[in-house]
Amino acid sequence: MCIMSSNAELARLFTEMAAVMELTGENPFRIRATEKVARTLEDLTLDVSTLVDEPKRLVAIEGIGEGSAQRIVEFLRTGRIAEHDELLAKVPKGLLAVLGVPGLGPKTVKLLWEKGGVTDLASLKEALDSGTIEKLPRMGEKTVQNIRESLDFMSKSSSRMRLGEAMPLAEEIVAHLSASANVERVDFAGSLRRGRETIGDIDILASAKRPSAASKAFTSMGDVQKVLASGETKSSVRLKSGVQVDLRLVDDEAFGAALLYFTGSKEHNVALRELAVRKGYRLNEYGLFPDDDDPSPPQSRGVRPVAAAKEEDIYRKLGLPWCPPEMREDRGELALKKIPKLIELDDIKCELHAHTTASDGRLSIEELAAEAKRRGFHTIAVTDHSRSSVQANGLSPERLREHIEEIRRVAARTKGIAILAGSEVDIHADGSLDYDDDLLAELDIVVASPHASLRQEPAKATDRLVRAVKHPLVHILGHPTGRLINAREGLHPDMDKVIAAAVASNTALEINANYLRLDLRDHHVRSAVDAGALVAINTDAHSTDHFDFLRYGVMTARRGWLTGERCVNAWSSTRLREWLESKRPSARSRTVAAAGGSAKKGRSPRKARADR
């Protein structure tokens, strides 16, 4: 079995080749073409290793030419690309790490290398400390400050792996182990099961008739780089991707107790154990035992546990409802008599933030709608970027007007799903929006998001987001802080103020489900839920596979105790429409007119017009 797919590994190699070509001053067309191959490979849903004997089909893929196809086949056959090795030999080894500094592009790195003698992160730090960096051309005070902050951020952000990278690895390991007849039960535990945005290591739990065979199946997986430990009860490996995976082999009868223990969090475990003691029990990873005042471990004295096979049984004996893993952080969950009905993946019925080829997406309106329909959604919103997002091919007002007409045409001929005309409009640094109100009012849905000026002072960021949230035509605040996990810190607004404004104006705060973002982050979701705000969970889809990110958004939502009632994506199409139209003054006056000119209760037609 190979855990990291060939596509991902190849994409990484092509990205590196393009970066090194940039550093060595290769032909720009070749560089762009190489980058394109990398992006194509990342997005490809088909595993290229299945095409090793069919280079023609590789070339037929848009973005992959003859030369690249040859290199892909070379990699699939030999595990290497000779050109990659040759290119890398042309630059100092440490320069790739410098390229990895957030905000440092190949052009700047080339300058730092050629003119500033920077060859790795250490010499970059030296150049910053000694001030030699400021003497280089195009190195203004602000640029230097940004590099300094990025380095600080990198040293703080740990080697923790992002949720969306760890989850596929863990699932593949679980599938691999459960395919063995010897294995009885297998599941992943730890921070991954709790859905944390990053995970330190992957914890796998299994029960097996022959533990040594299960251990062997684990340590001999294809993507193991190093076996750190191997035994009948615990084995550890490091995968090629750098992440450590622990496998614990436990008794099948005590699987629930072990799962509870190794899911954590440690804080939840400690609180649960104290509760057990107060109720006259002892809780450990082997089960819940009657407390008999003997300090030695009960399981080693042959004491029978009162519960051990299932997590539910243990919670029940302690007088508690089963606690969803995402809530196990000792943030009040053990005081609940009843667990709120947390949102689930199946509850999500629409996607309200998605891009098409009109801006930086890969799908046409039809393709986007078809994918949303395939996923069982009742509604899809087309929300391409606005004009200020130049790098994302944002739409000018004229282009947006044409786009709206096109969306309406497609919507009219598409059955089985509602297609909304929307926009992901940039929030400027001062909180104003990137289109005029007249234009925004023509849209069915407006997602307002910050994309630039993400190093703003907290007070300014607060004012900016509050202003956007209060804008009467805005439905959703998209990825509110703009952070990128392990890569960009983003804004630090006073989130309580932003949430209060969202509650007051009935605007939803987005959990962007892309695992690079997960923004709102979990504790912001909790604050939003506590304050009674509406929350949206959107994938921000740019391609069909981005819809798969939804699960990470849902896990983040559950970590914030979100229920379907407060999540606009879980509403019926009728309820969603009502909410969307409540922020459309013209639609409201239409509703009033349709009701025979007589106003709805307590609302005169004149009042409705005054809202415009």
Please report, as ranges, the residues that interact with Zn ion according to CB under 5 A: 449
Using the Cα atoms of residue 529, residue 532, residue 533 and residue 536 in order, give the sign of their dihedral.
positive
- Single-letter code of the amino acid located at 272: L
Q: Does 80 contact ligand DGT by CB under 6 A?
A: no
User: Closest approach of Cβ 328 to ligand DGT, in Å?
Assistant: 8
In the complex with Zn ion, the residue whose CB is nearer, 356 or 449, is 449
Of the pair 199, 533, the CB lying nearest ligand DGT is at: 199
Question: What is the closest distance, in whole angstroms, from the C-beta atom of residue 226 to ligand DGT in the complex?
Answer: 18
Q: Report the partner that residue 526 touches, choosing among ligand DGT, Zn ion, Ca ion, none (CB closer than 5 to 8 A by kind).
A: none
* Residue 262 touches which member of ligand DGT, Zn ion, Ca ion, none, C-beta under 5-8 Å by kind: ligand DGT
Residue 266 contact among Zn ion, ligand DGT, Ca ion, none, beta carbon within 5 to 8 Å by kind: ligand DGT
Residue 261 or 552 having the CB closest to ligand DGT:
261
How near is the Cβ of 451 to Zn ion at its closest, in Å?
A: 6
Is the Cβ of residue 213 or residue 228 nearer to ligand DGT in the bound state? 228
Footprint of ligand DGT on 236-275 (CB under 6 A): 261-262, 264-266, 269-270
Q: Which is closer to Zn ion, CB of 68 or CB of 389?
A: 389
Phi first, then psi: what are they for 149, rounded to 5°? -65, -40
- Sheet of 234-239: strand order equals 183-188, 202-208, 244-249, 234-239, 224-229
Distance CA(587)–CA(217), nearest Å, equals 62
Provide DSSP, 470-521.
H-TT--EE-STT--BTTTB------HHHHHHHHHHHTPEEEEE--TTT-BS-
* Min separation Cβ 513 and ligand DGT, Å: 20
| 284 belongs to the binding site for ligand DGT (CB under 6 A) | no
60 CB-contact burial (10 Å; exposed 0-12 / middle 13-18 / buried 19+): exposed
The H-assigned helical ranges of 184-329 are: 190-193, 211-219, 255-263, 266-278, 311-317
Q: Element (H or E) spanning 559, and its range? A: helix 550-559
Q: Which residue lies nearest Ca ion, judged by its C-beta?
A: 190
Q: How far is CA 513 from CA 351, 363, 427, 580, in A?
A: 11, 19, 20, 21
Q: How far is the CB of 263 from Zn ion (least distance, A)?
A: 33
| Shortest Å distance, C-beta 310 to ligand DGT | 18
**Footprint on this chain of Ca ion (rule: CB under 5 A):** 190-191, 201, 203, 246
CA 520 to chain CA centroid, Å, is 10
The residue among 236 and 449 lying less far from ligand DGT, judged by its C-beta, is: 236
Q: Are 170 and 204 in contact (CB under 8 A)?
A: yes
Q: CB under 5 to 8 A by kind: which of Zn ion, ligand DGT, Ca ion, none does 507 bind? A: none
What does 269 bind: Ca ion, Zn ion, ligand DGT, none (CB cut-off 5 to 8 Å by kind)? Answer: ligand DGT
Give the nearest distance from C-beta 469 to ligand DGT in angstroms. 32
> CB 201 → ligand DGT: shortest distance, Å?
5
Instruction: Name the residue nearer to ligand DGT (CB basis): 268 or 584.
Output: 268
- Distance in Å, CB of 334 to Ca ion, minimum: 21
Q: Least distance to ligand DGT from the beta carbon of 594, Å?
A: 55
> Among Ca ion, ligand DGT, Zn ion, none, what binds residue 449 when CB lies within 5 to 8 Å by partner kind?
Zn ion
Q: Are strands 234-239 and 244-249 parallel, antiparallel or unpaired?
A: antiparallel
> Which of the choices ligand DGT, Zn ion, Ca ion, none does residue 106 contact, using the CB cut-off of 5 to 8 A by kind?
none
CB of 328 or CB of 403, closer to ligand DGT: 328
Instruction: From 205, 199, 200, select the one nearest 173 (Cα to Cα).
Output: 205
Per-residue x/- track, 195-234, ligand DGT (CB under 6 A): -x--xxx-x-------------------------------
Q: Identify any residues that bridge with 381 across adjacent strands, giving them in sequence order.
A: 420
Shortest distance, position 205 Cβ to Ca ion, whole Å: 11
Q: Which residue is at the shortest CB distance from Zn ion?
A: 449
Residue 190 binding ligand DGT, by CB under 6 A: yes
Please say which residue, 265 or 527, places its beta carbon nearer to ligand DGT.
265
Nearer to ligand DGT, 42 or 285 (CB): 285
- Least spacing, CB of residue 233 vs ligand DGT, in Å: 14
Residue 246 vs 444, nearer CB to Ca ion: 246
* 254 contacts: CB under 8 Å, gap ≥ 6: 285, 286, 287, 299, 305, 308, 309
226 interface partner picked from ligand DGT, Zn ion, Ca ion, none, CB below 5 to 8 A per type: none
Answer whether the bond into residue 235 is a cis peptide, omega within 30°.
no
264 touches, from Ca ion, Zn ion, ligand DGT, none (C-beta below 5 to 8 Å by class): ligand DGT
DSSP for residue 252: G
Instruction: Tell me whether residue 263 or residue 449 sits nearer to Zn ion (CB atom).
Output: 449
Q: Give the DSSP per-residue string, 288-354.
A: EEE--S--S-GGGGTPPPSB-S-HHHHHHHTT-----GGGTTTSSGGG-SS---B--GGG--EE--B
CA distances from 500 to 133, 495, 520, 534, 536 (A): 44, 8, 15, 11, 16
Comparing CA positions, the residue from 420, 418, 427 lying closest to residue 403 is 420
Residue closer to ligand DGT, measured from CB, 265 or 563: 265
603 is a contact residue toward ligand DGT (CB under 6 A):
no
Total residues at the site for ligand DGT (CB under 6 A)?
14
Distances in Å between the Cα of 303 and the Cα atoms of 286, 299, 430, 464, 582 are 11, 5, 67, 62, 63
Shortest distance (Å) from residue 192 CB to ligand DGT: 7
Whole-Å CA distances, 541 to 35, 272, 451, 514: 21, 40, 16, 8
- Partner touching 582 among ligand DGT, Ca ion, Zn ion, none, CB below 5 to 8 Å by kind: none
Q: In angstroms, what is the C-alpha Rg of the chain?
A: 27
Phi and psi at residue 380, in whole multiples of 5°? -130, 135
φ, ψ of residue 401 to 5 degrees: the values are -60, -45
Q: Which are the contacts of 312, defined by CB distance < 8 A and separation ≥ 6? A: 256, 322
- In the complex, the residues that contact ligand DGT under the rule CB under 6 A are 190-191, 196, 199-201, 203, 261-262, 264-266, 269-270
